[in-house]
Amino acid sequence: TPPRGQPAFLVGNHTNTLDPFIISSFIKRPICFVVTDDDFRYKITRILLGWLKVIPTAKNIPDYVTMRTLIKAVKQGQIVAVSPEGGRNWDGEVLPLDETIPRLVKKLRLPVICVKLKGAYLTWPRWTNRPRRGRIILRFSCLFENPAEIPDGVAEIALMIDEKLRYSELEDPEITKHTFGGHNIAEHLELRFWLCPHCRNFFVLKSKGRHLYCSNCGARWELSGNGTFVLKRFGEPAVPEARNFKRYIDWAHYNDAVTMPMLLDRKRKGKNPLVSLAARMWSSSIQTRSDRRFKVPQEGTANLTPDFRMVFTRTEDNKTLIDTPLIGMNGANVVWNHKFEFFLPQVAYRLAFYGQSAYFWHFLTKKLGEMTPRFDRRQGV
């Protein structure tokens, strides 16, 4: 740890709600954590975060107030902890590094404390409400103790940090040799998996206890506490392309890899909407990103159109309340694991999908963003 009064950045993989408290217990100096402003909207998290130094920020939105506060903390000689991924990840894999931290390291010439948390994901996966019993290992390392060692290129700084943090917990035998025990360990897994690999239908998976099953084809799996599955029943009828997975991480990769090709295939076949989900929608007029007071929810249906727009229609009168493209959607993120949030001018929206995946919609905004140049060419835009 740098001497008291010397500023530094602390970066680590963010997989567990309690990461800030776990890390703080191993660092002798106070740490100032950058956390999302939603964590301050609920009494229990507000109380817990009151034990830490924190800088609130909005998810996936340029936040200049946060940046000024962060730089001020650095100039005061504090250690500032930031998730380089921009949030808690879903699968125990370190996500691609955001450029913000490397740029700040270059500008402010600061050392970087890197911490790799191993076992934190399986102790409390993002998609479940319940923590499990297990062991967590922390690996600390430091970059740029001598500011003269800091490269001039942002990409090189990012690569050096990425090499320290790169990690996939569910592919680490040091961790997966242990079983992380608890009750109902498959609870809410459908918040992450939206596709049955046997019948290849969307939003048909349900969890109960230790099991995940398909309400369409009857397939059933039992989840173990080390991220592996045991097939209990093969789905009938199954499609020729049916797959079965013994590891959570392989299913997650498959789920993400085939989603967009399947949606584009539905589009070519003239299906409209591409998918449809019962949903509950909240809205709030806003002056600033942190000023959100959501109204009584509206019941309705969220549809994904062939031109990749989200259309929400109210059940009582079939009135369209939202019709907006997913491409370029402002501030898209997942709140409390089951609510999809985004912003239109002067309005914030949140949608929940009665136990089905909000992350599906966030995933699409990211995937469409990656595809935008060639996607627009196909659309003739």
244-299 per-position pLDDT tens digit: 999 999 999 999 999 999 999 999 999 999 999 999 999 998 765 555 678 889 99
pLDDT at 44: 61
206 and 264 fall within a common domain: yes
- Going by the DSSP 8-state scheme, the letter that residue 228 receives in this structure is B
Q: Is residue 130 part of a domain?
A: yes
Q: Is residue 183 part of a domain?
A: no
29 and 70 fall within a common domain: yes
Whether the Cβ atoms of residue 226 and residue 176 lie closer than 8 Å to each other: yes
- Going by the DSSP 8-state scheme, the letter that residue 124 receives in this structure is S
Total of domains in the chain: 3
C-alpha span between 236 and 216 (Å, rounded): 9
Residue 379: its H or E element = helix 359-379
Within 10 A of 172 (CB to CB), how many other CB atoms are there?
Answer: 16
**Which of 13-27, 103-117, 254-268, 309-323 has the weakest average pLDDT?**
13-27
- For Cα atoms 306, 201, 356, give the angle at the middle one, nearest 5 degrees: 85
pLDDT at 28: 85
In this structure, what is the dihedral angle of CA atoms 30, 35, 39, 41, given to the nearest 10 degrees?
100
C-alpha span between 128 and 143 (Å, rounded): 34
C-alpha span between 271 and 66 (Å, rounded): 44
Q: Is residue 310 part of a domain?
A: yes
17 and 157 fall within a common domain: yes
327-336: per-residue pLDDT in tens? 989 889 998 8
Q: Is residue 82 part of a domain?
A: yes
42 and 136 fall within a common domain: yes
135 and 240 fall within a common domain: no
Q: Is residue 118 part of a domain?
A: yes
Asked whether the predicted pLDDT for residue 377 surpasses 90, the reply is no
Q: Is residue 184 part of a domain?
A: no
Average pLDDT, the chain: 89
243 and 138 fall within a common domain: no
Strands 31-36 vs 79-82: parallel, antiparallel or unpaired: parallel
Tell me the backbone φ, ψ of residue 276, rounded to 5 degrees: -145, 135
Whether the Cβ atoms of residue 7 and residue 80 lie closer than 8 Å to each other: yes
Domain boundary among 268, 300, 328: 268
Q: Is residue 181 part of a domain?
A: no
What CATH number is given to the structural domain containing 124?
Answer: 3.40.1130.10
What CATH number is given to the structural domain containing 290?
Answer: 2.30.29.30
Exposed / middle / buried, residue 75 (Cβ in 10 Å: 0-12, 13-18, 19+)? exposed
199 and 67 fall within a common domain: no
Asked whether the predicted pLDDT for residue 375 surpasses 50, the reply is no
Q: Is residue 309 part of a domain?
A: yes
- Residue 270's identity, in one-letter code, is G
Give residue 338's domain range: 275-379
Whether the Cβ atoms of residue 212 and residue 193 lie closer than 8 Å to each other: yes
122 and 196 fall within a common domain: no
Closest CA relative to residue 115, chosen from 91, 96, 98, 136: 136
Within 10 A of 29 (CB to CB), how many other CB atoms are there?
Answer: 16
Q: Given pLDDT bands bounded at 50, 70 and 90, which one contains residue 68? A: confident
166 and 204 fall within a common domain: no
33 and 100 fall within a common domain: yes
C-alpha span between 343 and 286 (Å, rounded): 9
| Alpha helices (H) along 221-341 | 248-268
Q: Provide the 3-class DSSP secondary structure of residue 249.
A: helix
Whether the Cβ atoms of residue 58 and residue 37 lie closer than 8 Å to each other: yes
Domain boundary among 219, 248, 268: 268
What is the pTM assigned to this prediction?
0.89
Whether the Cβ atoms of residue 96 and residue 102 lie closer than 8 Å to each other: no
62 and 159 fall within a common domain: yes
- Residue 355's identity, in one-letter code, is G
299 and 345 fall within a common domain: yes
Domain boundary among 176, 204, 228: 176
In this structure, what is the dihedral angle of CA atoms 170, 171, 174, 176, given to the nearest 10 degrees?
40
**Which of 22-31, 60-69, 233-242, 366-375 has the weakest average pLDDT?**
60-69
C-alpha span between 250 and 284 (Å, rounded): 39
